[in-house]
Structure 1
Amino acid sequence: MTGPIHIPKGERGKIRVFAINRPVPEILSALETMSKPDLARDLLANASLDTATAEIFPVADLVGVGLAGYLADGYAVDEAQIAPDRARLEALDGYVLIVFSDSFGGEEVTLTPGADLTLIGTYSEFEPVTDLPPLTADSAQPYTGAPGVTPPAPARGPAGSAMAVMAVIAALALLVWWLFA
């Protein structure tokens, strides 16, 4: 069981991993009657969430990779974040629920999942470095291209006039055929 989970307004880039504490046959039965997003909303006890990106799957599907490896390799979660929970992640069996920040739509939310879920951990998705030094090269400055260059006019050849001549000949041939037919 997990206590209330506070999601701050504007949260981005977080991944929450929950163990589903229902028997596997019960989860399989639920998945036959409802979609994964619907089951995720049911498990989280919040019908207003957009759980279209939530994942529900058996840990057994990750044989050879493991849940820790799935988070590290699939979502570029830093190994240092995973390390404190590695034993718990590796010990899980049955089904897991993975919920991403986009499910909350940037709104402040308090989740109160029942006995069906246990929060294993919250991890940050990889974010590329955006603090780059300014570009100082002359070619990187705006409006440094060649000013006032007009593109060359397309080549004109005999093809245009040949088409006109062919059209006139075709029209005359149709006229002659119509007159003598």
Structure 2
Amino acid sequence: MSRAQVVRPAGAGHETLYVLLAAVLIVVLAASVVAVRGEREDEQPIAAHQLDARRDLNAAEQGIHTDLWVAVEEIRALREDNGVAPDAQALADEGLPPFVNDASSKSRGSHQWSLLANGAYLGRSQDAAVAGSILLILPPGNETQPDVWLRRDSSTVAPDDLGDDALIAAGWQQIVTHYDAGVTRQHRH
């Protein structure tokens, strides 16, 4: 006589339920950690007379702005060596962007650069639709950062007064750069 024994399957329904509960617990735990420790997009407010270099400038203006920040160190070194700020032609002769007249400068508005009597550099845009005119104000010492101003019309005149109020009244806008977590992607504790 043979006997048949019926073996029932183990409770697969219970195992599936436990795996599902574990997955939900992991997702909830991960979401709570992200909510508590996640980066916040705290934008620094800027004044009405200012432009954010990352958001408010077009590509040509961003390129000129970047070139100016690189050129500042060279201008400071030449000023320190010679005792006076180099004129725009000397910077162009050195091949220093944005002062040099090359294909890049043509695509960015063909600015005509000059050293003003008050020590600032003015780049008059020849095509205001591409990029506005740029004003670079270098402080006398090397310890403070220069100011860069933009004016987006074709009637740019050299300012006599480099004070903020005078520049704002004349239609210039200061270009500012804020480095926050959204740009640097670093979180420091």
TM-score by length of structure 2 reads 0.18
TM-score, normalization by structure 1: 0.18
Structure holding more helix per residue: 1
Structure whose alpha-carbon radius of gyration is higher = 1
